[in-house]
Structure 1
């Protein structure tokens, strides 16, 4: 499945829609406005919550927990590196490969592609194309991609 994310500019809280290849709304992502840690909820088109993402506070490196149906299914943690950012994904045996800074990377499980992400250029705001190979992994892969984007955005905001 191919999905598209275009983040909303000038929003008071994180809010964006994930669309399919035909331009239909597939998922809705919204963050909590008054929260010390980043908390995001993802709903499907039937208005059912399919994913909850919560940042763990008081960690030296950003760590996020992903929940489906109230059960923790993954933890995404930025690893300490000097050059390129790396992420550890605990839960599924997934690896992130490629250039995360440029939003051009692949998520793999034992060499098999789960999803690949690339940034659309010449658009207003940040827009991404997500190719998720297996619909069964769609929500979890979307969650990992959202977490990586949150960490990158936070580091860019901190440096400016």
Structure 2
């Protein structure tokens, strides 16, 4: 199944919609600003919070917590200093581990576990800068995989912003 993430342009605060490939809106991703931590809430079309991601402030590793119903269900982290390529690791409740790797500069990457690829994230087919596709191969995990794709996308945006301010 293919899901699309479309950032809302010209919004006062950061907002994106996750849609099916048939343009049916599933939920909105809201970024809460002016906090010590960066928080994104995943809210369905009826206003119920499905999940949230919280970027921890002041960590040596880029770390984002994934929460559902107030409980941590996973953690995504990236080593800040890495010589060869970008790679993220995901640790889920219960000990399950996932890997996220690929060409992150062009935002073409896969989410995989030991059994193989679970999802492929791509901006390749979109001319609009702020839209990307998530092709999910593991339907039971679709929500988690969409959340992870949004996490990595925002880590990359934060990193690009840091590089621009250092120029």
Q: Same fold (TM over 0.5)?
A: yes
Q: Identify the match of residue 133 of structure 2 among 129, 135, 138.
A: 129
Partner of 1:28: 28
Contiguous gaps of at least 5 residues in structure 2: none
1:1-42 C-alpha deviation (Å, 9 max, x unpaired) = 210112223433220101101111012100112213210000
The size of the alignment, in residue pairs, is: 160
Contiguous gaps of at least 5 residues in structure 1: none
What is the rounded CA distance, in whole Å, between the counterparts of 2:30 and 2:162 in structure 1?
22
Runs of 4+ with deviation above 4 angstroms:
none
- Equivalence map 1:35-54=2 (5 Å): 35-54=35-54
1:61 CA drift (Å): 2.5
Contact 1:13 1:31 (C-alpha < 8 Å) held by counterparts: yes
What is the rounded CA distance, in whole Å, between the counterparts of 1:84 and 1:67 in structure 2?
28
Contact 2:87 2:99 (C-alpha < 8 Å) held by counterparts: no
Higher RCO by CA contacts (8 Å cutoff, separation 6 or greater): 1
Tell me, yes or no, if structure 1 residue 108 matches structure 2 residue 112: yes
What is the rounded CA distance, in whole Å, between the counterparts of 1:61 and 1:141 in structure 2?
21
* RMSD (Å) for aligned C-alpha atoms: 1.6
- Equivalence map 1:80-119=2 (5 Å): 80-91=81-92, 92-119=96-123
Relative distance call for 1:127 and 1:142 in structure 2 (3 A) is same
